[in-house]
Chain A
Amino acid sequence: MKKGISRRNFLKATGIIGAAAASPLSLVEFSWGKGSEENFTVAHISDSHLTHIKGNEFVRNFDKGLKRAVTEVNFMRPKPDFVIFGGDLAQLGKREEIDHGLEIMSKLRYPVRWVIGEHDYYLDLGKYWEEKVSKLHYSFDHKGVHFIVLNSILTYDDWMFNKWKSPEVRMSQMARLDNPQGSPFMVKDKQIAWMKEDLSTVSRDTPVVVLSHSPLYKIFKPWNFWTEDAEKVQAVLKPFKKVTVLHGHVHQILYNQIGNITFQAMMSTAWPWPYPVSYAQAKNAVPKLTVFMNRADPHSERDATGWSMININNGRVINDFRLWENTNRTLKYDEKLGYPVDEKYQNPENRIPPQEHY
């Protein structure tokens, strides 16, 4: 992006911009100007939760989900420029699980951009992940879009370092979703400062896509559908015109718009989670915008699981959910309305009975 901005500024500064319409230089303005990013496609796979039993045994059902996603992404047309993995490759952060996941993912024909989830992190605080898989937070540019990858599943120091008698206990405590002893996810000030610095050289017109594991807003604290310092992260993203957050963790279709930021959850390949509305004992802030995914029917192991084809179109995300046992869904940002809508089901008249939850 740096290059684009300086070139644009150069053009502005030299006053050529208007006069250049008929010259080859106009192509420069076209390539880097507002709303003229290239369109491209990526794939998003998330939350495979590969679970080691013993020896070389893993939970068959979860293996099958990830393997199926990998196979389908390899057949995807148009071909993806890269694949995003949204976190929680492993269930208990074990080396066996991460290695097993890398082996399955190695069948992909495309490069992978990795996001870490709490199930990958809380055994050794990301050490093995950093060694074998990826950095925990980083940024990159692709065809005019700036991507930021966050490690959004940090938490309070005391919980992380002092509360538990062993790393295994810490991991199993964090792995339990409905744990009353749990602790909220955080990006933390150090990483937020990095993000601010990283974005300081990015033009405000540049589309920004943030990849995180936890939703970078607050939905339901008891299950950590929640990032404690979400407002601080949102504030850093506020000056940008087109911002999309793609996150994992919630194992369900969930989307929202807060100010300039569009949030979209990705499906899990392992199992679906109920919406927090179905817990009768606690309040939730599930976004009203979301048209719920169908009620999961455990008759099929692959029900309410899947992956996503992501088209980046004029800097906005068009999310094609590839659902294995359910009608496919497409989420598209509506420029007039200013928020993402489901192409078919946003209109309540078109909804089907399994989308009603209680």
Chain B
Amino acid sequence: MIKTIKFTILTLITFALFASPALSDEFTKKDLERWQAEFMTAVKQGEKLFHSSLGRNTVSCDMCHPNATNTHPETYPKFQKQLGKVVGLREMINWCIINPLEGDALKMDDPRMIALEAYITYERRGVKLDPGKH
């Protein structure tokens, strides 16, 4: 029985190695569309979160940052006065959630954090990277 399973796995691996339907540099227009759609789903989720209460006082991000303005994602990482060190955008997002929104920090890889970052950077698309700028 164990032998049979081992053989099956080996056969599958061999098949996967030599008979893979797509090479790593092979993707279609359809793939591109799907990836873009996935990204836009994150942007939409981020937009929703950005306009909802993420803390305990009903305050939302958009109240100070309509269309995510003055978030300047293109300037991170940068020295952030209130944190006293060079930080990434996600740490600044958490600062806002903890302070003006009176809430709890999100984990750095929380899907909500990624969605917020997606929305913020999407609204700032087209602006050149300028890390460290104030």
Which residues of A are at the interface with B, using a C-beta cutoff of 8 A? Answer: 51-53, 59-61, 176-178, 222-223, 271-274, 276, 278-282, 295-299, 301, 353
Contacts of A273 in B (CB 8 A): 64, 66
Ordered by A's residue number, 30 sampled pairs between the chains whose C-beta atoms are within 8 Å are A51-B59, A53-B58, A59-B58, A59-B59, A60-B57, A176-B62, A177-B62, A178-B62, A178-B66, A222-B67, A223-B67, A271-B64, A273-B64, A273-B66, A274-B66, A274-B70, A276-B69, A278-B69, A278-B70, A279-B67, A280-B124, A280-B125, A280-B127, A281-B67, A281-B126, A296-B70, A298-B82, A298-B96, A298-B100, A301-B100
Instruction: Give the shortest distance, in Å, between B130 (CB) and chain A (any CB).
Output: 8
- Is the beta-carbon distance between A178 and B67 smaller than 8 angstroms? yes
Interface size class of B (residues with CB under 8 A): 20 to 34
What CA separation (Å) do A60 and B100 show in the bound complex? Answer: 10
What CA separation (Å) do A353 and B123 show in the bound complex? Answer: 25
- Is the beta-carbon distance between B100 and A61 smaller than 8 angstroms? yes
Which residues of B are at the interface with A, using a C-beta cutoff of 8 A? Answer: 51, 56-59, 62-67, 69-70, 81-82, 95-96, 99-100, 123-127, 134
What CA separation (Å) do A257 and B27 show in the bound complex? Answer: 56
**Given A177-B62, A297-B81, also A281-B100 (CB < 8 A):** no
**Across the two chains, which residue of chain B brings its CB closest to A301?**
B100
Report the 6 A-B pairs with minimum CB-CB distance, sorted nearest first: A178-B66, A274-B70, A299-B82, A274-B69, A177-B66, A278-B69
- Is the beta-carbon distance between B51 and A299 smaller than 8 angstroms? no
- Is the beta-carbon distance between A176 and B51 smaller than 8 angstroms? yes
Contacts of A177 in B (CB 8 A): 62-63, 66
Contacts of A299 in B (CB 8 A): 81-82
Sample of 8 further A-B pairs with CB below 8 A, known A176-B62, A274-B70: A51-B59, A177-B63, A177-B66, A223-B67, A279-B67, A280-B123, A298-B95, A298-B100
**Given A298-B82, A298-B99, A299-B81, also A51-B58 (CB < 8 A):** yes
Q: Is the interface of A mostly helix, strand, loop or mixed?
A: loop
Contacts of B123 in A (CB 8 A): 279-281
Contacts of B127 in A (CB 8 A): 280
**Given A61-B100, A178-B62, A280-B124, also A295-B51 (CB < 8 A):** no
Among A223, A278, A296, A297, the one with the most B-chain Cβ atoms within 10 Å of its Cβ is A278
**Across the two chains, which residue of chain B brings its CB closest to A354?**
B134
Contacts of B51 in A (CB 8 A): 176
Cβ-defined partner of B69 (8 Å) among A176, A271, A279, A298: A279
Instruction: Give the shortest distance, in Å, between B20 (CB) and chain A (any CB).
Output: 40
Contacts of A274 in B (CB 8 A): 65-66, 69-70
What CA separation (Å) do A280 and B70 show in the bound complex? Answer: 11
What CA separation (Å) do A274 and B56 show in the bound complex? Answer: 24
Contacts of A59 in B (CB 8 A): 57-59
- Is the beta-carbon distance between B124 and A223 smaller than 8 angstroms? no
Contacts of A296 in B (CB 8 A): 64, 70
Contacts of B65 in A (CB 8 A): 274
Contacts of B81 in A (CB 8 A): 297, 299
What CA separation (Å) do A52 and B58 show in the bound complex? Answer: 8
**Given A176-B62, A280-B127, also A53-B69 (CB < 8 A):** no
- Is the beta-carbon distance between A298 and B58 smaller than 8 angstroms? no
Cβ-defined partner of B57 (8 Å) among A51, A272, A276, A279: A51
**Across the two chains, which residue of chain A brings its CB closest to B82?**
A299
Contacts of B63 in A (CB 8 A): 177, 271
